[in-house]
């Protein structure tokens, strides 16, 4: 599903964000990505989502080399990746339904199918009764669940989450991670950047640790 082959990412203003990172992730795996702030977690996820390209090395996702992927193929790749952010990134003037529907609307899906998929996604995250609400009327945990519904509504095979519980209390964090577990159980590949070491240890999934841009530990290594 994902392979990093000696990947570097350098920013002119701050040097190397990733340094010689290599790993392989199989389809259907759920992996945690941890490390201190500035260790390179967000950069790694952005490379997989093709929000940025590597400075050196190869990033292979679903057999495609993202370092050389033609510009015209970028939207197709992004439709195969659901991305979840810490700050939700919901449109404040759109309802819950409209926010979740956005990835489907841009692909030209018909209204009937959009409605069916959006309501299925909202049902998965326990927010079906809130579909007409605006984001401002939701709690932080509910807003994050809307972000998750939006990330999975197009049924992508790969979901990336960047500190999805960073602003939530422990009980809400546990609920979010239980959602990820359910997606994992139906075959979705997940990579989740998080500082929540207690939940990482409780869930017993493979864990990557980054330090100053280098992959210093892979708990899946034999």
Instruction: Report the chain's mean pLDDT, rounded to a whole number.
Output: 92
Q: Would you give the DSSP letter of residue 79?
A: H
Query: Residues of 134-148 as b/e, b for ≥16 C-beta within 10 angstroms?
Result: bbeebeebbbbbbbb
Tens-digit pLDDT profile for residues 49-94: 999 999 999 999 999 999 888 989 998 898 899 999 888 789 999 9
User: Which residues are within 8 A (CB) of 156 and not within 5 positions of it... i.e. 6 or more apart?
Assistant: 79, 80, 81, 82, 188
Contact 162, 41 (CB under 8 A): yes
pLDDT of residue 92: 94
Give me the residue spans of the domains in the chain. Answer: 90-155
- Record the pTM: 0.91
Would you say residue 1 has pLDDT above 50? yes
């Amino acid at each position: 599903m994902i392979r990093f082959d000696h990947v570097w990412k350098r920013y002119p203003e701050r040097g190397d964000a990733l340094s010689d990172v290599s790993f392989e992730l199989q389809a259907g795996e759920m992996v945690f990505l941890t490390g201190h702030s500035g260790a390179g977690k967000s950069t790694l996820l952005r490379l997989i989502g093709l929000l940025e390209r590597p400075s050196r090395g190869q990033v292979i996702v679903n057999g495609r080399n993202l370092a050389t992927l033609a510009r015209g193929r970028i939207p197709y790749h992004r439709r195969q990746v659901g991305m979840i952010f810490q700050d939700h990134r919901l449109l404040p003037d759109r309802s819950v339904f409209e926010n979740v529907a956005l990835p489907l609307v841009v692909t030209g899906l018909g209204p009937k199918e959009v409605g069916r998929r959006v309501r299925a996604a909202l049902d998965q995250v326990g927010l079906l009764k809130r579909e007409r609400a605006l984001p401002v009327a939701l709690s932080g945990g509910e807003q994050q669940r809307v972000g998750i519904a939006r990330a999975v509504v197009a049924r992508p095979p790969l979901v990336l989450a960047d500190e999805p519980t960073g602003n939530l209390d422990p009980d809400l964090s546990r609920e979010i991670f239980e959602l990820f577990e359910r997606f994992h159980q139906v075959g979705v590949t997940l990579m989740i950047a998080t500082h929540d070491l207690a939940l990482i240890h409780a869930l017993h999934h493979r864990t990557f640790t980054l330090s100053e841009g280098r992959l210093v530990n892979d708990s899946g290594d034999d």
